[in-house]
Structure 1
């Protein structure tokens, strides 16, 4: 299994903006065959080093992760994230 984690810092950190973007991520659930699980969390600490949103997704294989990356639903999410994010960080590992 491959776990793909992405942290997002948004340009607008207001609760409304963060929730709206978290919902865009949640809306991928059930729409991408290769996506085995998805978890979207909103930061509750709000420290200086915090990111606003954490995304944890899991895939059966690297091939499935690669298919997810180019899936039309994910590409629409990337468009949204490109317009709202200030920064992001990711890690992918075998789990």
Structure 2
């Protein structure tokens, strides 16, 4: 199993933007065959170290992750709509 985790910091972490960003990420469920598990969480601590949203995705292999990363839905629906909301994102990937 290959795990890809992304932490997102929004430009403006309003309730509307948090809901919109979470909805965009959750919309991948069932739309990308290589994506086996998807979890989205919104930060509740809200301190200086916090990012606003975490995405945890799991794939059968690194190769499946690489297919997901360039898939039409991920690029043209998720990234296209999410990037304007973001200040920064950071990732961790592991087997």
Where on the TM-score scale, by shorter chain, does this alignment land: which range?
Answer: over 0.9
User: Aligned-pair distance for 1:48?
Assistant: 1.1
User: Aligned-pair distance for 1:79?
Assistant: 1.3
Question: Structure 1 residue 9 and structure 2 residue 15: aligned?
Answer: no
Gaps of 5+ in 1: none
Question: Structure 1 residue 49 and structure 2 residue 49: aligned?
Answer: yes
User: Aligned-pair distance for 1:49?
Assistant: 1.4
SS at match of 1:65: helix
Gaps of 5+ in 2: none
Match of 2:18 in 1: 18
Question: Structure 1 residue 80 and structure 2 residue 81: aligned?
Answer: yes
How many residue pairs get matched? 94
User: Aligned-pair distance for 1:12?
Assistant: 1.2
Query: RMSD in angstroms over aligned alpha carbons?
Result: 0.7
List structure 1 runs of 4+ shifted beyond 4 angstroms: none
